Every structure is written in structure tokens, then in C-alpha cells.
């Protein structure tokens, strides 16, 4: 079994970090993993995306043309990548930054106001973890506990004071997706 995930948004939204957390969790769980970042020359505000492939056997290529899962943190990312998602795939979209909903009827869609939820938690930079949390209940390869363990295990010690806020964001995203 192989699952391909595309996470996309603006630079500075934590797109690459969300992908890294997912990749570390899968790697720690014994899966084969690739993490492939792509970003423009701008540090913040430019486009950024990454692909994560999680598999039970060796992965032939890190390139993803038609992901099963799309996490779109902004409108341009939804516009660009929604058509590429496989039929019966999953689109998780940050409705806080969208001017439309998911238009495809052949995919499962979760639209949640991730940026608003993150702000309510005290830090808008947590939107990436809210989105990751929203994806997890529909993602059979990993558990929320594995994501939290990866966060703790791979976040530099100097940033461990941020763990609880990230855990709350993951849980808030999962709760919003269930509602």
C-alpha cells in the first residue's frame, strides 16, 4: 500500500514542517517514506508545497502527479492542485483563506477554518497542525499518537516549549473535522 500526500500553501505557513512531521511519524512507525519539498525563492509569502509518500514497500520515485490526499492551506493551492487529486481521494482545505469550497464531487472534502481555529488557540502559525489534525481521522496509516510522538522526537529541544500548543492544534483540527 502506498499513499501520496501533497501539502501546499504560502511560504511561512509551515507547509514543509507539516510534511516533515508526517514523514517522521511514518518513518518512526517503520514505513518507507519520501519527503520532497518545493518552494519559490521568497522566504515568506511565496508558494511552497511538499509531497510525502508513505508506503509498505520501497518507493520507486518521490514525484507525485496525482496525490490521494491534498492539504491546501490557501486558495491558490486549492485552485492549482484540486484537479490533480485522485478520484475518491481526500481534500483538506483551509476555509479561512478560501473564496470557494472544494468543487470536485468525486473526492472527500474537509473544509475547516484552520487559521481561525489556530488564532483561537493563541497563534495563527498553528494552522498547519490544525490541518494535519483534521486529516488524521481519515488517514489509516498513522495514528494521532504517532504524529505527536514524532513532533516530540524530532522537534529541536529549544522548541519543546511549543509542543503543548501543537498538540492542542492537532486535537482541535481532528475535532473540527469530525463535526
Q: What is this structure's pTM?
A: 0.93
Does 79 score more than 90 pLDDT? yes
Structural domains counted in the chain: 1
Lowest-confidence segment of 4-8, 11-15, 68-72 by average pLDDT: 11-15
The CATH number linked to 46 is 3.40.920.10
Domain that holds residue 48: 2-178
CB-based burial of residue 122 (10 Å sphere; 0-12 exposed, 13-18 middle, 19+ buried)?
A: exposed
Alpha carbons 82 and 5: distance in angstroms, whole number? 12
Give the pLDDT confidence score for residue 106 in this predicted structure.
97
pLDDT in tens, 92-145: 999 999 988 899 999 999 999 999 999 999 999 999 999 999 999 988 889 999
Q: Residue 16, Cα to own-chain centre: how many angstroms?
A: 9
54 DSSP assignment: E
Determine the Cα–Cα distance for residues 94 and 176; give it in Å rounded to an integer: 12
Amino acid at each position: 500500500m502506498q499513499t501520496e500526500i501533497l501539502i501546499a500553501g504560502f511560504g511561512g505557513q509551515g507547509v514543509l514542517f507539516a510534511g516533515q512531521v508526517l514523514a517522521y511519524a511514518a518513518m518512526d512507525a517503520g514505513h518507507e517514506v519520501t519527503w520532497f519539498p518545493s518552494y519559490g525563492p521568497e522566504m515568506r509569502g511565496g508558494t511552497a508545497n511538499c509531497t510525502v509518500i508513505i508506503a509498505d514497500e520501497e518507493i520507486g520515485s518521490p514525484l507525485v502527479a496525482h496525490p490521494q490526499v491534498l492539504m491546501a492551506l490557501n486558495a491558490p493551492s486549492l485552485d492549482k492542485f484540486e484537479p490533480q487529486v485522485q478520484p475518491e481521494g481526500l481534500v483538506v482545505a483551509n476555509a479561512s483563506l478560501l473564496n470557494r469550497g472544494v468543487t470536485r464531487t468525486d473526492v472527500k472534502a474537509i473544509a475547516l477554518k484552520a487559521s481561525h481555529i489556530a488564532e483561537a488557540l493563541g497563534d495563527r502559525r498553528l494552522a498547519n497542525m490544525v490541518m494535519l489534525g483534521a486529516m488524521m481521522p481519515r488517514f489509516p496509516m498513522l495514528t494521532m499518537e504517532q504524529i505527536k510522538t514524532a513532533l516530540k522526537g524530532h522537534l529541536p529541544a529549544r522548541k519543546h516549549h511549543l509542543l503543548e500548543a501543537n498538540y492542542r492544534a492537532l486535537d482541535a483540527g481532528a475535532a473540527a473535522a469530525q463535526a
